[in-house]
Structure 1
């Protein structure tokens, strides 16, 4: 199975190790992973700011980059949600490009979505004996419909104690350009989110979007809270390594 990694801007520039974890886990399950180097942004920042013409041009570049791909997998529900939910709107008046967008949509998945829905993988043999709480990001759960896949994968990690996050459905306040345009409101939201994370007593906060994790992690760090922040792919990969070590 040939899979192309859609790394996203945040992961590429700030958290490349997340992409590496995704690639290694996919390779573990027989996927041939490639990385089209012509990929850039999905166009979400421009789109959210009202620059639809500019977003459309960026989207064309992404469509071209993955034209030959069999599957496209991303560690971001937000960027995947942008492709699935807004690309048809962007190209509503351009039939040729709308068709190309729909072909990209049909083969594009968020990481946990791909593991569970396409590969049929739920138990990776991972071991992670720590207290963990999970933040469901807005775009992944509400735009893309990724709701049970991450927790299903986590529930099968040996030794992991899942602690429910209070008000988990609430936004963390990042929202891409929202955090810049509405900085005071964004800060109030992430302060509440960080407070709820700390209330769980969890050692680890896990999520599926680096934008959210960067925002919450930044607040936890500012408050000197000893909570480790990890993308789901990182936790699963570390858990697989622990499982292999304990099994020897």
Structure 2
């Protein structure tokens, strides 16, 4: 298959290893990955906050970038449940808010080929065992958009359970939000901090080496709290799902000094 990668702006700036791992994984599975350098933001931080008019130019830019290639690609993949959820659900709301019927049609065409990573692997590529090797203990945090908007369900766990050497530990209150929510963590910082404090404590309680999720934004939030509250160098580290899936015995994952690693 020919797959177009939308890295997301947060991954591009804060966690580029996630984008690299996505390419590594998909190419190892025999697929061609293309990258359109015109891509910018999906507009999620605008739509989540209710600024639909302000989001409209961003949505149009997204469509202008990906619509022309729809006939030459099989899918658009995003290593982010929240950004994929924005494209699949909120872009349509923005078009309706702008009363732009043409934009609605264009958005529908693009969103129909847009998938979050675990959806692409399990539903489109029909694979759960990707040949990964990760001899570490992990606990999985299902992010809000992936769980409540995309409804990815057990797809990420199916992929994790097929990884050789992995030890998956149940996360208490796993379905509770980590408190990030984009601008929510800025506008409601005290509430956000209380939420991520609880989430970090639950992660630590599992004694897992890694906390894994499908969104770099949530991992940035959880990982930041873990770094600030746990001085123990062996404490849990935040890692994206695709970084585990891209890890093999020949090319094992090594935590890098990114926002998802242990750098301050």
Q: TM-score range by the shorter chain?
A: over 0.9
2:221 is matched with 215
Query: Contact between 2:147 and 2:153, CA under 8 Å: does it hold in 1?
Result: yes
TM-score where L is the length of structure 2: 0.89
Higher helix share: 1
Separation of aligned partners in 2, 1:242 and 1:204 = 18
Separation of aligned partners in 1, 2:13 and 2:119 = 23
- Pick from 70, 74, 77: which aligns with 2:81? 77
* Cα offset, 1:157, TM superposition: 1.0
* Cα offset, 1:230, TM superposition: 0.5
2:241 is matched with 232
1:157 correspondence with 2:166 = no
Query: Contact between 1:126 and 1:242, CA under 8 Å: does it hold in 2?
Result: no
Q: Deviations over 1:135-191 (max 9, x none)?
A: 000001100111111000001112211111000000000000000000000000000
2:32 is matched with 32
> Is 121-130 or 144-153 further displaced after alignment?
121-130
How do residues 26-175 of structure 1 correspond to structure 2 at under 5 angstroms? 26-67=26-67, 68-69=69-70, 70=73, 71-92=75-96, 93-175=99-181
Query: Contact between 1:125 and 1:240, CA under 8 Å: does it hold in 2?
Result: no
Separation of aligned partners in 2, 1:204 and 1:139 = 21
User: Structure 1 residue runs of 4+, over 3 Å off?
Assistant: 239-243
1:194 is matched with 200
Report how many residues are paired.
Answer: 243
Gaps of 5+ in 1: 244-248
> Is 96-105 or 222-231 further displaced after alignment?
222-231
1:21 is matched with 21
Separation of aligned partners in 2, 1:170 and 1:16 = 27
Query: Contact between 1:178 and 1:186, CA under 8 Å: does it hold in 2?
Result: yes
- 3-state secondary structure, aligned to 2:247: helix
1:246 is matched with none
- 3-state secondary structure, aligned to 1:91: helix
Query: Contact between 1:128 and 1:160, CA under 8 Å: does it hold in 2?
Result: yes
Query: Contact between 1:126 and 1:241, CA under 8 Å: does it hold in 2?
Result: no
Q: Deviations over 1:101-152 (max 9, x none)?
A: 0011110000111011111111022222221100000001100111111000
Query: Contact between 1:76 and 1:110, CA under 8 Å: does it hold in 2?
Result: yes
> Is 39-48 or 201-210 further displaced after alignment?
39-48
Query: Contact between 1:127 and 1:242, CA under 8 Å: does it hold in 2?
Result: no
Query: Contact between 2:29 and 2:130, CA under 8 Å: does it hold in 1?
Result: no
Separation of aligned partners in 2, 1:175 and 1:86 = 15
- 3-state secondary structure, aligned to 1:206: strand
* Cα offset, 1:49, TM superposition: 2.6
- 3-state secondary structure, aligned to 1:175: coil
Query: Contact between 2:184 and 2:192, CA under 8 Å: does it hold in 1?
Result: yes
